[in-house]
Chain A
Amino acid sequence: MYAQMIKTASNSVKTRDEMSDSERAFQDRIDAGQKIEPKDWMPDDYRATLIRQIGQHAHSEIVGQLPEGNWITRAPTLERKAILIAKVQDEAGHGLYLYCAAETLGVSRDELIEELHAGRMKYSSIFNYPTLNWADMGAIGWLVDGAAIMNQVPLQRTSYGPYSRAMVRICKEESFHQRQGYSIMLKMAQGNDAQKAMAQDSLNRFWYPSLMMFGPPDAESVHSEQSMAWKIKINTNDELRQKFVDQTVPQIEYLGLECPDQTITWNAEKDGYDYAQPDWNEFFEVIKGNGPCNKERLAARVKAWDDGEWVRDGLLAHAKKKSARVAAE
């Protein structure tokens, strides 16, 4: 997802007998559906896992602006340009909500950004793919934001209060993102042959990377159990991926496009589609930093941070001077 393959320190979940008194009381609160708030006691590993997860989620929102930012200057109409700017601006807001949520756990935003820039923290694999034609703005809103919604809606119920509240705000804004994407796809799919071909090409390129967003198959996903017990992960990777496929295939049909997975078939027994797995080797390569745009994306983030330094410093110096003047009066 926006947070993929988050590691917890331990691979196994403690039994009630193995837990300390405070750990047991903590788990009881979570099981009772209570929210954990910043000043409450929490296990060190809960805190550390959440910092990694929320941090990675925040980084994904911010880096995720780059592939779409690429098309702002080339949007086909002024209206589409304004819509795309608003969408990308929302993503900046999502990053901000999430960094703030992470900060309540005792890490600073600058520390998280440093970790990202040093390559020690990740962002979602999906943003390492290039955006090659205008239809990609459609495919991203429809598929990438669509996959994100699938994950974020249940996360509104996550056990950590600030994370949950950030998710509520984000979910309110996401539906605009997905609908503006699908509306681009509709327009292109109903356009001339060249436009329709672009829409199909875009779908072909984003289908499997979108499926990868949910993370590796459950059988290979070793960190889920503890996170699920703590309600910082609500559904398994395969559950969400299946839901996403089932929702998306009819939408592809409506567009009159072809599903890039030729093997896709309805399975009445499981009440869902049987679909082909993405190339997981490719996924692990992208996660390792060897995707088509990893270097470019990170370089763009670092450059923006470095180029903005004089502005951040200048505004801070100005604020200090002003308050010193007020204090002197």
Chain B
Amino acid sequence: MSKEWPLWEVFIRGQHGMSHRHIGSLHAPDAEMAIKNARDVYTRRNEGVSIWVVEAVHIAASSPSDKGPFYEPSNSKVYRHPAFFDIPDDVGAM
């Protein structure tokens, strides 16, 4: 059995009002230590106000090979963008 500590992905909220962003990974025996290590490794210069950690094995990801087909449905729906609609200038800001 591997004695290596599991891998955790670290997400940090940089400032109040912002979303958490993936910042990197680290190894730790459990969530509590992962958060402490994340503080020491990723916020040494006040880079964060909140930390999330999640064990890397629990992350499900889309596969890069179906990049094209997977996102295809949105390609044909240009009307989802506001610029699709011509509104006369006379109407004013909208």
Residues of A in contact with B (beta carbons under 8 Å apart): 37, 39-41, 86, 89-90, 93, 96-97, 100, 103, 108-110, 165-166, 169, 173, 312-313, 315-316, 318-319, 322-323
Contacts and interface: CB of A to CB of B under 8 A. Distances in A.
A93 B42 CA distance: 8
A214 to B, nearest CB: 28
Interface of B: 2-5, 7, 24-27, 29-30, 33, 40-41, 44-45, 61, 63-65
B30 A96 contact: no
A90 B44 contact: yes
B18 to A, nearest CB: 18
Contact of A316 (B3, B7, B40, B44): B3
Contacts of B63: 39
A304 to B, nearest CB: 16
Contact of B5 (A103, A166, A316, A323): A316
Contact of B33 (A89, A96, A315): A315
A37 B4 contact: no
Contacts of B3: 312-313, 316
A322 B29 CA distance: 11
B64 A103 contact: no
A316 B24 contact: no
A30 to B, nearest CB: 15
Nearest to B30: A319
Contacts of B40: 89, 93
A259 to B, nearest CB: 34
Contact of B41 (A96, A313, A318, A322): A96
Contacts of A100: 7, 24-26
Contact of A323 (B4, B30, B41): B30
A50 to B, nearest CB: 17
A319 B7 contact: no
Given A100-B24, A313-B3, A316-B3, A93 B29 contact: no
